[in-house]
Amino acid sequence: MKTLFCDKPLKYDGTQLRPHFIYQEFKILGDALVAFEGPADVALDHMVDLEDVEKKAPIYSPRMLHFLGEWFSDNFEWGILLQHHLVAEFYEILLESGVSSLSRRGNDVYFQDRKLNVSICTRSPVSVLVHVGINIETEGTPIPTSGLNELGVRPAVFAKQVLERFERDYNIWKTARVKVLPR
Amino acid sequence: MKTLFCDKPLKYDGTQLRPHFIYQEFKILGDALVAFEGPADVALDHMVDLEDVEKKAPIYSPRMLHFLGEWFSDNFEWGILLQHHLVAEFYEILLESGVSSLSRRGNDVYFQDRKLNVSICTRSPVSVLVHVGINIETEGTPIPTSGLNELGVRPAVFAKQVLERFERDYNIWKTARVKVLPR
Amino acid sequence: MKTLFCDKPLKYDGTQLRPHFIYQEFKILGDALVAFEGPADVALDHMVDLEDVEKKAPIYSPRMLHFLGEWFSDNFEWGILLQHHLVAEFYEILLESGVSSLSRRGNDVYFQDRKLNVSICTRSPVSVLVHVGINIETEGTPIPTSGLNELGVRPAVFAKQVLERFERDYNIWKTARVKVLPR
Amino acid sequence: MKTLFCDKPLKYDGTQLRPHFIYQEFKILGDALVAFEGPADVALDHMVDLEDVEKKAPIYSPRMLHFLGEWFSDNFEWGILLQHHLVAEFYEILLESGVSSLSRRGNDVYFQDRKLNVSICTRSPVSVLVHVGINIETEGTPIPTSGLNELGVRPAVFAKQVLERFERDYNIWKTARVKVLPR
Amino acid sequence: MKTLFCDKPLKYDGTQLRPHFIYQEFKILGDALVAFEGPADVALDHMVDLEDVEKKAPIYSPRMLHFLGEWFSDNFEWGILLQHHLVAEFYEILLESGVSSLSRRGNDVYFQDRKLNVSICTRSPVSVLVHVGINIETEGTPIPTSGLNELGVRPAVFAKQVLERFERDYNIWKTARVKVLPR
Amino acid sequence: MKTLFCDKPLKYDGTQLRPHFIYQEFKILGDALVAFEGPADVALDHMVDLEDVEKKAPIYSPRMLHFLGEWFSDNFEWGILLQHHLVAEFYEILLESGVSSLSRRGNDVYFQDRKLNVSICTRSPVSVLVHVGINIETEGTPIPTSGLNELGVRPAVFAKQVLERFERDYNIWKTARVKVLPR
């Protein structure tokens, strides 16, 4: 898989979570995880989490660090674990860097009980798609939130750490598939 | 899935990593993750990691906290991510509890550059199987290691934390599969 | 999986055979089989059986007992067998209760050579979907039909018997997957 | 798939439930369901149902009607439903023919609360395998049983009815896969 | 699978590459490969190859020999190899018949460095779909091309050779699945 | 995937067709296709083609060019097509180079109706495995055969052509999976 941090801001409105968007926007063909900054404004119409639709909980943030991944696999469960891992990994990096008052409940990370991120995994007819958005700024968010600015974390540096760690782990998983005797 | 901490010690020699062992030993039918303490002594003959076999690196520890999981799935990749998650989760719990000088490289966790754990995922004709062993004591290990005793972590309490968190996350993944619109 | 008999009537026009309808209508998340009564009126545009579309054979019944199932699986063949099983099961229950002059040809059950039911299985990007509709009343149906009223079978009682038996068998199949040695 | 009734008796000791046995014994290549008569004597060592092994419940019958099926599929769940369908189908045929005092609990059929059959589905590295054995005679069986002789059912005629109906339904399932619009 | 050469010309505009088109047009239910002649005119809107869309390279030919295949499988990779095989096979037949100055680069066959064909494989929710179009005439094609007329190959005869060989090989692959011991 | 021509001769007795042999012998981890020269002598006990076992047709050749491939996939059908492709490709190369009197029937290539090669695809619990052996010398073969020496083809040069072409096509298939819109 390939990873890319793109320093050109891009607004996330939910339509980016579609097959081949990464190819069309970033010219990367194949499994990829990209990161970029930009506002998030996802209307209910574009949301794929039906529990959130039911609760009428749209997504808004003035500025987020976005991670968008596409893997050309039919394995939805695998995509769900990649989503989880991406969240667990950025949480782990924050813990390692000494930020306190953090907690994780499933795929939601909190700072002082204020939510840091959103995330979702869905599938298309050709791929699994993952979006993780971490607040940078939080003005106007519909629920109590925190963001990377409040934590004193620089988004671009942090993004590259996450991408690098994800790719490193990803290669380990690929190797794990081919080096083990069956039972 | 079900989880169980068994306080009866059990030696791990590699033959436990087989289909239906959990049913035969613990009478749990179906997907399960169990934990128990005991020595680890896996001869090359019983090792499934071919890179370790190639390096002639057998596994020995006088006392480990063992996690043994079986999921009745044909999805090897999914098992590999469950293995990874189990490691990432116990690492995360140690970080949260304030242990310093920890690092993770893939599925290996280190304290002051000494290795805390082993882990593997393999498959059987009916399931994927995961073993994660975390040193409690370290006397006589073939490489520089650390253990839960040195970290001041009580194995049984820690085991239950890990099992509980894994099960909680597992249920979230199951729900994620059924509540999302496709793209 | 969960089962539910809903005593509020609901018209079936074919659009109910879509992913997450059961969640949206009945608030059940995950694998489920629900039953309800109501008319059936499926125009050719909403039919998914291409042989019926080719024959221009729309579905109409003034009142049916409907079973609607969704399983979040990619296994289309499995859904087809669940459809078959649901039909075979309601046929079996009628046989056991002593109704005579019944016969089954594939997924169609007949009373005195008049058709009792329709059924279909299709797939969505996230699930397999099953509909089985059994006539209660038959006035105005486009082909010779019989219905539960003519058989003297009370729909709600019958529906609950079918749901209960299906769920019981379903759990047996789930156990069968995890308790058998491979060959 | 092909079906065959072989009128040469054959003892079933559990080792027949293996990949390619049907090819080796009956020269049928590919998906097949065969039936034959013969004693059944399966020692615990050759049993694949771990719950029965746990209960130390070996299989014995002086004379059974055996159905042995192999489908070259990786879809274990599908095999489990084929096993179920084979049982449900022979039960249905008995009900249709007017035998009373019959009941079915999962994959076990009873006459006056005495067990008529055994059944199992397992998988091999290349296929799913199904065995259904219906008692003809019952002398010496380890539990209370009934058999086709007591029911006044002629095994060879009955076997052919079951094979014919199974094959007819099987072809319907194959067609169902290719004639339906997705949702 | 079934094969058919249809001698009624049919224009290919890309919309034929859809599930069940072969059933709707040719009344063949199930896995099938059909061939027919006709112009090709695929606007960018109907193209599925994103690299070609990116290059703005639409498909046009005044007359092509078209092969259109549908297999009701979820195995996209398998469809891709069937596409490849169909191309390799027509190339092989041309080589065997003594045509010189031919070469193959992936799924493109060239005569004197002018392109003979287009091909694609995509998937639908129920099937994999393959189109291979071989130029018969070449007037007005957007790139340098050759065609069967220039090679002195009669399209109908050639089409039947390709269909026959493909079907023969297909049956061999089906047998290969069921006659081999696992390792 | 990786390819390798090894100029050290190696005898092929059928036991090489096992998971991880390529890693153990050639230190290549992951999907790979290797080629080497050496005698072939496969006793019935080590043969996996049951039709050949039935016919008691062991494999012997004093010197063959062997291709041995392993792909860590659960997709048996895909392996079967890779086997076919490997054969079709070496046949294609011979045709291109102007060798006459060649023909292909399924996975067998003939020169003047004498057989040039054997081939098989099987699966292991972790992979699909392919062997293609092309005679170099033919003295003592149990059936009429031809070999590369008779054709005037130099094995090492030819092996490298085949490996290079296979790898090039393989990469095209990988790209095909990720660049196509679904239908």
DSSP characters over D108-169: EEEETTEE-EEEEEEE-SS-EEEEEEEEEE-TT-SS-B--HHHHT--HHHHHHHHHHHHHHH
Q: Do F179 and E50 touch (CB under 8 A)?
A: yes
Q: How confident is the model at residue D86 (pLDDT cuts 50, 70, 90)?
A: very high
First-to-last alpha carbon distance for chain A, in angstroms, is 29
Predicted pLDDT at E73: 96
Nearest-5° angle of CA D180, CA D183, CA E3? 35
Q: How confident is the model at residue E22 (pLDDT cuts 50, 70, 90)?
A: very high
Collapsing DSSP states into helix, strand and coil, what is residue F105? strand
Question: Please, what is the average pLDDT of chain F?
Answer: 97
CB-CB neighbours of B168 under 10 Å = 12
Taking CA atoms, what residue in D is nearest to B19?
D50
Task: Report whether E121 contacts E107 (CB < 8 A).
Answer: no
Q: How confident is the model at residue D28 (pLDDT cuts 50, 70, 90)?
A: very high
Question: Neighbouring chains of F at 3+ CB pairs within 8 Å?
Answer: A, B, D, E
Predicted pLDDT at E19: 97
Predicted pLDDT at E148: 98
Distance from the Cα of residue A111 to its chain's centroid: 17
> Which chain D residues contact residue F76 at CB under 8 A?
74, 126
Q: Do C18 and D96 touch (CB under 8 A)?
A: no
First-to-last alpha carbon distance for chain C, in angstroms, is 29
DSSP codes, chain A: -EEEE--S---B-STTSSTTHHHHHH---SSEEEEEEEEEEE-GGG--BHHHHHTT--EEEEEEEEEEEEE--S-HHHHHHHHHHHHHHHHHHHHHTT--SEEEETTEEEETTEE-EEEEEEE-SS-EEEEEEEEEE-TT-SS-B--HHHHT--HHHHHHHHHHHHHHHHHHHHHHHHSB---
Residue F12: what residue type?
Y
Residue E10 tokens, joined: 């049919």
Question: pLDDT tens digits, residue range A117-168?
Answer: 999 999 999 999 999 999 999 999 999 999 999 999 999 999 999 999 999 9
Residue F63 tokens, joined: 């010197």
Closest CA to A42 of A8, A6, A25, A18: A18
- Our CA-based measurement puts residue D109 at a distance from the nearest CA of chain E, in whole angstroms, of 32
> Which position has the token pair 């290079």?
F164
Taking CA atoms, what residue in E is nearest to C124?
E125
Closest CA to B9 of B117, B166, B159: B159
DSSP character for C105? E
Q: Do B180 and A92 touch (CB under 8 A)?
A: no
Task: Report whether A99 contacts B96 (CB < 8 A).
Answer: no
Q: Do B23 and D50 touch (CB under 8 A)?
A: yes
Question: pLDDT tens digits, residue range C152-171?
Answer: 999 999 999 999 999 999 99
Q: Do F126 and B74 touch (CB under 8 A)?
A: no
Question: pLDDT tens digits, residue range F43-60?
Answer: 999 999 999 999 998 999
- Our CA-based measurement puts residue B74 at a distance from the nearest CA of chain D, in whole angstroms, of 9
Burial E81-95 (b: 16+ CB within 10 A, else e): bbbbbbbbbbbbebb
Q: How confident is the model at residue A8 (pLDDT cuts 50, 70, 90)?
A: very high
Question: pLDDT tens digits, residue range E129-147?
Answer: 999 999 999 999 999 999 9
Taking CA atoms, what residue in E is nearest to D23?
E179
Q: How confident is the model at residue A12 (pLDDT cuts 50, 70, 90)?
A: very high
User: Pairing relation of β-strands C2-5 and C32-42?
Assistant: parallel
User: Pairing relation of β-strands C114-115 and C108-111?
Assistant: antiparallel
Taking CA atoms, what residue in A is nearest to C127?
A76
Percentage with pLDDT > 70 across chain E: 100
Question: pLDDT tens digits, residue range F32-44?
Answer: 999 999 999 999 9
Predicted pLDDT at F98: 94
DSSP character for B145? B
CB-CB neighbours of D80 under 10 Å = 26
Q: How confident is the model at residue D31 (pLDDT cuts 50, 70, 90)?
A: very high
Q: Cα(B46)–Cα(F152) distance, rounded to whole angstroms?
A: 49
Percentage with pLDDT > 90 across chain E: 98
Task: Report whether C48 contacts C13 (CB < 8 A).
Answer: no
Q: Do C30 and B180 touch (CB under 8 A)?
A: no
Closest CA to F127 of F33, F14, F62, F11: F33
The strand pairing partners of E12, in sequence order, are E40
In this prediction, residues A50-68 reach a mean pLDDT of: 94
Q: Cα(A129)–Cα(D79) distance, rounded to whole angstroms?
A: 32
> Which chain A residues contact residue C126 at CB under 8 A?
76, 123
Q: Do A78 and B76 touch (CB under 8 A)?
A: no
Q: Do A126 and F23 touch (CB under 8 A)?
A: no
Question: Residue F163 belongs to what H/E stretch?
Answer: helix F155-178
Predicted pLDDT at E16: 97
In this prediction, residues C42-51 reach a mean pLDDT of: 93
Question: pLDDT tens digits, residue range B75-86?
Answer: 999 999 999 999
Residue A64 tokens, joined: 């987020």
Task: Report whether F130 contacts F119 (CB < 8 A).
Answer: yes
Taking CA atoms, what residue in F is nearest to D73?
F76
Percentage with pLDDT > 90 across chain F: 98
Closest CA to B127 of B85, B70, B49: B70
- Our CA-based measurement puts residue D64 at a distance from the nearest CA of chain F, in whole angstroms, of 29
In this prediction, residues A77-90 reach a mean pLDDT of: 97
CB-CB neighbours of A86 under 10 Å = 25
Task: State residue A91 phi and psi, 5-degree precision.
Answer: -65, -45
Question: pLDDT tens digits, residue range E27-75?
Answer: 999 999 999 999 999 999 999 999 999 999 899 999 999 999 999 999 9
- Our CA-based measurement puts residue D125 at a distance from the nearest CA of chain F, in whole angstroms, of 7
- Our CA-based measurement puts residue D44 at a distance from the nearest CA of chain E, in whole angstroms, of 25
DSSP character for D65? E
A27 Cβ contact list (under 8 Å, min separation 6): none
* D83 backbone φψ class: left, alpha, beta (φ>0; ψ -120 to 50): alpha
Task: Report whether B117 contacts B105 (CB < 8 A).
Answer: no
Listed range (B36-40, C43-47, D36-40, F28-32) with the worst mean pLDDT: C43-47
DSSP character for B181? -
Predicted pLDDT at E99: 95
> Which chain E residues contact residue F118 at CB under 8 A?
none
* C174 backbone φψ class: left, alpha, beta (φ>0; ψ -120 to 50): alpha
Task: State residue D167 phi and psi, 5-degree precision.
Answer: -65, -40
pTM of the model: 0.96
